[in-house]
Structure 1
Amino acid sequence: MGEVHMPDPVCLIKNQDEDTLVINDEAIQILNSISQPVVVVAIVGRYRTGKSYLMNKLAGKCSGFALGATVQSKTKGIWMWCILHPTKPNHTLVLLDTEGLGDVEKGDSNNDAWIFSLAILLSSTLVYNSVTTIDQDSLDKLHYVTELTELIKVKSTNDLSATNEEEEEDESADFKKFFPNFIWCVRDFFLKLEMDNKVITEDEYLHNALRLKQGCSKSKAQYNRPRECILHYFHAHKCFAFERPAYETDLQRLEELTESQLSPSFLHKAKQFCEFVYETSKVKRLQGGHSVTGRMLGSLATSYVESIKNGSIPCMENAVLSLATVENTAATKEGLSIYMDKMSQGDIVFPMEQEDFLKLHSDCENMAVEAFLKRSFKDDKREYQTKLMIDLNQKFNEFRSTNEEASIKKCKDIIQELDASLEQKIKNGDFSKPGGHKEFVAEKQRILNSYENIPAKGVKAKEVLEEFLKNMDSIEKSILSTDSCLSKIDKERELEKMRNEALAYKLQLETEERERLQQIQGEQKKNLEAQLQMLMKKLENERSEMKREFEWVIDQKQKEKDIWMSQGFKNKAGMLDLQIEDLEKKKAETGMIDIVMNGVGLLADAASLVLPGVCGKVAKGAAILLNRFF
């Protein structure tokens, strides 16, 4: 199933016992049914600020996510609504409505921090919702952003050789690479968008609100910290300022109001907001440009929540590696399943001639490998693709045996039918007379001619015929020995002729069997080369995508540096120069062809073990296969 139809939202992550987060299996089952790429939009903010209304508008509905009409928070945990993306065909829009931050009934700031972190980890666009203005109070309430480095890890800390400073620098660059777009929605906005007697845009209003103050005092550091984090970690900062949608008394029944009862200005802004989100929100992606599907999003959510429950800090790298294990295992099974299904289709009838059988196998194997490569990722050691190669080779041999057995059965049935009259004549003693040998030979030749003229006997036609001729050999010798029309010399000549024909036929069979094996190996070699080419193309695309990722992060860091410079923070700008230099080095390493060659080489080396008759004889091993591509 590629898409899902949800009439209403469901809870994705429950708040159990007020402070324990638990995955909802029903929601995971829904995500598992979505094989399309997902665009994930999450909204966070203080409770009772109208978050759910905006998410309902994104869903194209007037109701769905609970709005609530009292001071009590309605949304608990994280709720999910999956719909067909309004503007991106074959994509699913996943909307995540989060529990309001700062709920006085909950009284657990740690729980709020985890809800905020999960919204960031799962989304490709994060909407922060606040009321009235962007001021110090609204930024103070976004204090969770200042704790992100303590709540989220990009990389595993297994590499003890790296210093803490190096790890922090690496992660600060990676945060921006993996974090979502940031949209700030200001609700019930009442100010004029003016500065220095000039009209400004909402984005300029946000940009000005994020300006830092010069100085090193504690109060200025406290003032700057949330602003630095927003600039440092998030990208594509956007602002929407909404005026109040209706009179205060009507706000308590907002779900019931028709659009004619709402402020035209509010409706216009909501329309702009939805169009912007639809247009600019990107597919959720992993490192290397791998698009996240619904089932992958469910796996990530489960991994992050389990880490939190176990008292660990959610780590993106560990979650992705865990996801890769699940997806690569599934990709191997999916590839094998496709091969089995295609080889077993109802219109396929065994026996088949070898050329037809090998073509069918090659087509099915290519489809299997394509499906595997499409779904798999981070199979850096090619262990999963090697497993698929082993499984496909095993199934190929099984189908080959099936084809051979079907050929043997069909040919034996043909021989039995053609031989019926000859067997009867032998039983009746029709050849036990002078000249009987000549009649027997003629009858046998008639069977051979008829047999040869019957099509579609399969790959074992000659072997079955040879077995038949061997069975006839002793009978023919007996008939020959009693034929009084033939002299001793004639009989010896006939015996010599029979031996020569049998030897010639045996040599012919051996030659044809070698040719068949060579044909199989040739087809396997061709299939392996096609598989290596497909892998090379995939690795090339991944390498290009990683290079684009680095270029994008470098560009974002350059823009961040320009902001620091424009505001007079030369030291911060200088630190970004070092980050940019490090990113440039990593980009150069990513651009090296060795990454592709190593990946293709690993698979070719594995093939030399799985298919020794193919790679072992191809010009001294797998390296020659690589030379075809480089």
Structure 2
Amino acid sequence: MVNPTIMEEPLCLIENNPNEELKINQEALSVLQSIQQPVVVVAIVGLYRTGKSYILNKLAGKNKGFSLGSTIQANTMGIWMWCLPHPQKKGHTLVLLDTEGLGDVEKSNTENDSWIFALSILLSSTFIYNSMGTIDQFALEKLQYVTELTKHIKVKSSSGEGSSVEEKEEDFIRFFPAFIWAVRDFSLQLKLNGRSISSDEYLENALRRKQGQPEKLDLAKKCIRQYFASRKCFVFDRPASRRDLEELEDLSESLLSRDFVVQMSRFRTHIYESAQVKEIQGGHRVTGELLGHLARCYVDAITSGAIPCIENAVVALAQIENTAAVCDAMTHYEAKIKQLELPTEAVEELLQVHAQCEKEAIQVFMARAFKDENQTFQKQLGYQLQAKLLDLCSCNEKASSDRCQAVLTELFQDLEEELNKGSYSVAGGYQKFLDDQGEKVEQYHLVPGKGLMASKVLQDFLKSKESTTQSILKADRSLTEQQKLLEVEQERAKASAREAELQKKLKEETEKMAQEKERSYKEHESQLMAQMERERTCLMAEHERVLKSKLEEQARLQREGFQQEVAVLHNEIQNLRHQMNQPKRCSRCVIA
């Protein structure tokens, strides 16, 4: 399999062939799903022939990779992927997604433009919109795809056609990526009312809404402001002279515009340092494997005629990821428990090792699992761990029993030979037999490493010799009948005492197993509560981010004079604050 961290060139992830539906490329999907690291996903979209591929090649630290082309015809079809080691985040993969140009009149299936735009948002953690010139009315009108997102993305599975746009917009901001507007071939001065402004201020000023603006233009501004809580803008000079643009990918940096090189360096630094790991509901970090599942889930929805739904995708991913989490946890447990040498001298030793291995296994599970409704998968893990414990106890008993049987067979070998020769079937033979047998039992007790079955195996062994003992006793003419009866009673008393001691030990072990079950339950519950607290912290952070965005938007609308929308936002803010003040309930995890 291709090592995703050293992909030599991009692969097409989602194909958009003429007169065909969107389709996942299986080779690219296999590469993506082989990545177990968290992924930072940067997607770029924009009109065709605006230099999107060149920007991504620069992010990849390469001159060549994504195809540039040098004519007026679009070069990239579908969505292309390049997976690289993240330049600054160790143990992370940078996934670059290049998309075909929007609005190409030569395409036979232009309806897929909206789907590619929507997929780029759904798959990325940072979304770059690339345009040429300035952010003006023309540029905003070309961004009509953002105004159609509610037709191409659903957040909740319960959101039907009758759901209001406002309700959906409030949810979108929680799941949408960071937004960057990259303005290429920018030739204006960044000044407003005579003062210098930043590129971010330039964007926010361009997104200012004005009373009486055309609805199409106003809606684009409104959607960008409402859907994307994080917004930035970068402006770039033309990278080289028009003549050199045809050979752009072969130009050395020394031949590029100095301002462009500086601007690109700032842009690249921002992406490397600030672009976040792709996350899904609950703050769960997405790996390449999960991103592959997401891509397939969304494309399958589109080709089936449905609208991609974030909630449905998360539920599907949770099933896959939680199943894998149980498998990972059990694999970790089994690898660790193999280090325990059987048999153990006491059940406590086994239970202590099991408890530590179980704790680590639950941690492994919790690190990967998410959205485990009603702790279904955690309970499944609990059942499997208990089954492993019972199996371990059984193996421990068998190992101990086999060891004890071998020790007894070896110790009593010469005594068995004396029995076969009839050495004890003489006057005084009974007492000699008891002495020899007692000596062997003492030697048995001194042998180390017999395990916790030592008493029971010895008890069973001596019980199996009772008929032989009785025969020797009856044959001993040196004892009177009264003495023989007394000997029988004494042996019975000894056997009864041994049995009582054995039953006491078995009862103690049963109690310890019950205590172990309670300990296991508390361990599961403790780690569940810690996980739920982490999820609550993530949810509160999400609420805070949404609240901050809404407060900022409310202030903007207030300045711009949209009083009716200010009132609507005020109610949304109050409802959000109410949600944030509600204690989060949690059901106890029950591992039967």
Q: Indicate whether the TM-score tops 0.5.
A: yes
For the structure 1 residues 289 and 16, does the alpha-carbon distance in structure 2 shift closer, same or farther, using more than 3 Å as the test? same
Does the residue aligned with 2:67 lie in a helix, a strand or coil? Answer: coil
| 1:184 pairs with 2:206 | no
Deviations 1:533-577 (A, max 9, x none): 011100111112112211210111111111111112111111111
Structure 1 position 232 matched with structure 2 position 233? no
Which ranges in structure 2 are unaligned for 5 or more consecutive residues? Answer: none
CA distance 1:359–1:103, change in 2 (3 Å): same
TM-aligned CA distance change 1:158 to 1:212, over 3 Å: closer
- Counterpart selection for 2:376 from 370, 373, 383: 383
Paired position in structure 2 for 1:266: 260
- CA positional deviation for 1:87: 1.9
Taking the aligned partners of 1:144 and 1:191, their CA distance within structure 2 comes to: 26
Query: Residues 130-175 of structure 1, C-alpha deviation per residue, up to 9 Å, x if partnerless?
Result: 1111111111111100101111111112789xx633xx33321111
1:363-416 Cα offsets, whole Å, 9 max, x none, are 221222111111111112111111111122122212221111111111111111
Letter of the 1:310 partner, please give it.
Answer: S
Q: Which residue number in structure 1 is paired with residue 112 of structure 2?
A: 111
Q: What is the SS of the residue equivalent to 1:463? A: helix
Q: Secondary structure at the match of 1:190?
A: coil
CA distance in 2, matches of 1:121, 1:486: 95
Indicate the SS of the match to 1:126: strand
SS in 1 for 2:80: strand
Alignment partner of 1:424 out of 394, 417, 427: 417
CA offsets 1:160-194 (integer angstroms, 9 cap, x no match): 9xx633xx333211111111111111111111222
Once the two structures are superposed, the pairs formed by residues 342-361 of structure 1 within 5 Å of their partners are 342-343=336-337, 345=338, 347-353=339-345, 354-361=347-354
Q: Give the drift of 1:299.
A: 1.0
Query: 2:39 maps to what in 1?
Result: 38
> What residue number does 2:537 align with?
544
In the alignment, what sits opposite 1:155? 156
Counterpart of 1:91 in structure 2 is 92
Which residue of structure 2 lines up, in the alignment, with residue 319 of structure 1?
Answer: 313
1:522 corresponds to: 515
> Partners in 2 of 1:348 and 1:540 — Cα distance?
34
Query: Residues 329 and 384 of structure 1 are in contact (CA less than 8 Å); yes or no, is this contact kept in structure 2?
Result: yes
Aligned pairs for 1:136-215 (under 5 A) are: 136-157=137-158, 164-165=163-164, 168-215=165-212
Task: Find the aligned partners of 1:360 and 1:105 in 2 and give their Cα distance.
Answer: 68
Looking at structure 1, the residues matched to 304 and 132 of structure 2 have their Cα atoms a distance apart, in angstroms, of: 35
Classify the secondary structure of the residue corresponding to 1:13: strand
Whole-angstrom distance in 2 between the partners of 1:363 and 1:576: 51
Report if the CA contact (8 A) 1:4-1:30 is conserved: no
Written as runs of structure 1 = structure 2, the 5 A alignment for 1:372-411 is: 372-411=365-404
Q: Give 1:66's aligned residue.
A: 67
1:434: how far off?
A: 1.3
Which one of the candidate residues 237, 245, 266 is aligned to 1:251? Answer: 245
Partner residue in 1 for 2:122: 121
In structure 2, how many angstroms separate the alpha carbons of the residues matched to 1:179 and 1:557? Answer: 15
Residue 367 of structure 2 corresponds to residue 370 of structure 1: no
- Residue 174 of structure 1 aligns with an amino acid whose one-letter code is D
Native 8 Å contact 1:213 1:220 kept in 2: no
2:491 counterpart (495, 498, 509): 498
Amino acid at match of 2:215: A
Assess, with a 3 A threshold, how the Cα gap between structure 1 residues 107 and 193 changes in structure 2: closer, same or farther. Answer: farther
Q: Distance in 2 between matches of 1:83 and 1:305?
A: 24
State the match for 2:272 in structure 1: 278
Aligned to 1:133: 134
Give the letter for the 1:20 counterpart.
Answer: E
Of 463-472 and 103-112, deviating more is 103-112
> Displacement, 1:3?
7.2
8 Å contact kept, 2:333–2:361: yes
Structure 1 CA distance, aligned partners of 2:41 and 2:441? 70
Aligned equivalents of 1:169 and 1:184: distance in 2?
24
* Identical positions, percent: 44
Distance 2:122 2:44 in 1: 12
Query: Does the 8 Å contact 2:45/2:52 carry over to 1?
Result: yes
- Please give the alpha-carbon distance, in whole angstroms, between the structure 2 residues aligned to 1:18 and 1:583: 45
Matched, 1:441 2:434: yes
**Contact 2:229–2:546 at 8 Å: present in 1 too?**
no
CA contact 1:561–1:573 (8 Å) conserved in 2? yes
| Alignment partner of 1:308 is 2:302 | yes
Q: Which amino acid aligns with 2:550?
A: K
Q: Secondary structure at 1:576's aligned position in 2?
A: helix
Number of the residue aligned with 1:622 = none
User: Residue 223 of structure 1 aligns with which residue?
Assistant: 217
- What is the rounded CA distance, in whole Å, between the counterparts of 1:71 and 1:28 in structure 2? 30
What does residue range 461-480 of structure 1 map to in structure 2 within 5 Å? 461-480=454-473
Amino acid at match of 1:164: S
* TM-score, with structure 1 as normaliser: 0.91
Residue number among 334, 350, 356 corresponding to 1:340 in the alignment? 334
Aligned pair in 2 of structure 1 residues 486, 448: CA closer, same or farther (>3 Å)? same
- Whole-angstrom CA distance in 1 between matches of 2:40 and 2:545: 19
Which residue in 2 is equivalent to 1:580? 573
Secondary structure of 1:335's counterpart equals helix
Between the two proteins, the alignment pairs up a number of residues equal to: 590
Out of 286, 293, 314, which is 1:292 matched to?
A: 286
**1:3–1:35 CA contact under 8 A, matched in 2:** no
Runs (4 or more) in structure 1 with deviation over 6 Å come to none
Distance 1:364 1:583 in 2: 42
Q: CA deviation at 1:51?
A: 0.6
Contact 1:11 1:78 in 2 (8 A): yes
TM-score, scaled relative to structure 2:
0.96
The alpha carbon displacement at 1:483 in A equals 1.1
Q: Is the 8 A contact 2:4 2:31 kept in 1?
A: no
SS at match of 1:127: strand
State the 1:285 CA deviation: 1.3
CA contact (8 A) 1:84 1:93 kept: yes
CA contact (8 A) 2:4 2:83 kept: no
For structure 1, the residue ranges without an aligned partner over 5 or more in a row are 611-630
- The one-letter amino acid paired with 1:234 is F
1:164, 1:230 → 2: CA distance?
20
CA contact (8 A) 1:120 1:180 kept: yes
Distance in 2, matches of 1:107 and 1:31, equals 29
Closer/same/farther in 2, CA of residues 268 and 520 from structure 1, 3 Å limit: same
Residue 508 of structure 1 pairs with residue 501 of structure 2 = yes
C-alpha contact (below 8 Å) 1:18/1:106 kept by paired residues: no
The amino acid across from 2:318 in the alignment is A
Q: How does 1:43-54 map to 2 (within 5 A)?
A: 43-54=44-55
3-state SS, counterpart of residue 61 of structure 2: coil
SS at match of 2:16: strand
